[in-house]
Amino acid sequence: MRKALIAIEIIAIVLLAILTFSNIGAVKPIFFTLNSKNFTHNAASKYSGFIEPIASSTISYSPSWNSEVVSDTINADSLNERFDYTAPKPADTFRIALLGDSFAFGLYMNTPQNFSELLEDALNKANSCPVIKKIELINFGVPSYDLQYEVERYRLRATKYNPDLVLWFTEAGDLTQVNELLQKDSAEYVATDSNIKDSWDKVHSEYAAQISETDAIQQEISTVPEFNALYKGPLFIFSLPPLFGAPDSAVVKSLTGAFASRPQTFIDLTMAAPWTGQDQVQPSDAHPNQTGSVKLEEALLAYIQSHNLIPCAAK
């Protein structure tokens, strides 16, 4: 029987967005684990629980709602990508970094079908700038990351690629779930596939007693200055309508407020709206399916073009 610790080291994928913010209809939360053998702690990280996919590997798994095997191709730099990318950046290349959690990673999608790969192809096809020979979109997303870990991922992996633009796919759980406080590695938290929900509930009941949602948001937002020091170029923060709830919620206000004075920053938390639901997402799950990935790619392409986020003069 497969076992997993309810901890960041193992990555229990439990969709807080579904539990709290879903307006896709009546859904049940999906408890799904990715095996620990596919992830490893990065010793260079300042966080004790910071893990990344194992480089040059393949992550294969089957969603609980069908027997189809999903394969994520992990490149030599621990990224869910079809290709390896060179550092430093070639002079005639426009480079985009994608940050985020499982939504950016492309959970439940084979790597070539993820919206990031579709967008990379679409941007190159649409490119008419004579001084930009190639557009690269590099995916740094990892399932279960919070805002702190996403900034850490940028620091450890993305800076050497010198991106010209950063796309940041975020959701409410990235700001309300502090991963460093969810580290549980003792035997009492070991879960089998049949009782993973009970173990998750135990961890989160203890977590709720440790920190309020307001304090969690503040702790996550506190990492924004570090990101701004690492990267000063154009930034587009985006999400999907079900993943943040009301526009006047504390988490939305905190996120938008944290970036309000940052130059060249664009925020759209209702990307690809209306996100109508079951034809665009996985069964009982807010992650995009193939139809949703295409819709998201199309929405992002239109936004990037309409806001001139890849200016020809930049090169």
Q: Residue 34's pLDDT band (boundaries 50, 70, 90)? A: low
> What is the chain's mean pLDDT, rounded?
84
Q: Which two tokens stand for residue 198?
A: 């009970």
pLDDT tens for 203-248 read 777 888 889 999 999 999 999 999 999 999 999 999 987 788 788 8
**Antiparallel, parallel or unpaired: β 57-61 and 70-74:** antiparallel
Q: Residue 272 pLDDT > 90, yes or no?
A: no
Question: With contact defined as beta carbons under 8 Å apart, do 85 and 124 qualify?
Answer: no
CATH architecture of 3-314: 3-Layer(aba) Sandwich (3.40)
Q: Is the dihedral of CA 157, 163, 166, 167 positive or negative?
A: negative
For the chain, the structural domain boundaries read 3-314
pLDDT tens for 132-156 read 999 999 999 999 899 999 999 999 9
Residue with more model confidence, 209 or 72: 72
How many CB atoms are located within 10 Å of the residue 289 CB? Answer: 18
Report how far apart, in Å, the C-alpha atoms of 70 and of each of 12, 64, 222, 285, 295 are. Answer: 17, 11, 36, 16, 20
Q: Residue 4's pLDDT band (boundaries 50, 70, 90)? A: very low
Predicted confidence at residue 193, as pLDDT, reads 53
Mean pLDDT of 49-54: 92
Residue with more model confidence, 194 or 230: 230
